[in-house]
Amino acid sequence: MVATCGYDYIGTSDGIDKPDNFNPTAGESSCLDCPKHQVIPDPDPDDWFCDDDKAVVCKLALNDERDTSSKWASDHSVYRSIARSARPHHLKKESNTPDWCPKLQRVSTSATKTCMNGEPVKGG
């Protein structure tokens, strides 16, 4: 991520940088709308029918409770889980923005935008 005077930009697969304008609301917005989410396979090892389950993780938050001995793939992720063992067609409704969302914290705690040198952005 390249920071430019108070705004975050993300690199896309087509090589063009686009502004990251996702402004979450806890419990109302979906993390699937944020470019910092990742969908990973999270199959149920005890149920073949749920072999296509997915997990949604946040690439901005590290998984403090990482457990590499767990049978669930989402527990192995270095990123914090938003939704675990979700059916693929339920991902959107199970990926509501959690209270711990780093972007939510940044939106609520930063009253003014600042440049990399700590000075406020003029006109912002």
Residue 30: what residue type? S
* Statement: the pTM of the whole predicted model exceeds 0.75: no
90-111 tens-digit pLDDT: 899 899 999 999 988 765 444 4
113-123 tens-digit pLDDT: 555 555 555 55
What's the angle, vertex CA 99, arms to CA 25 and CA 23, rounded to 5? 30
Task: Say how far apart CA 31 and CA 97 lie, in whole Å.
Answer: 5
Domain boundaries, the chain: 27-100
**CA-closest candidate to residue 40, choices 25, 57, 24:** 57
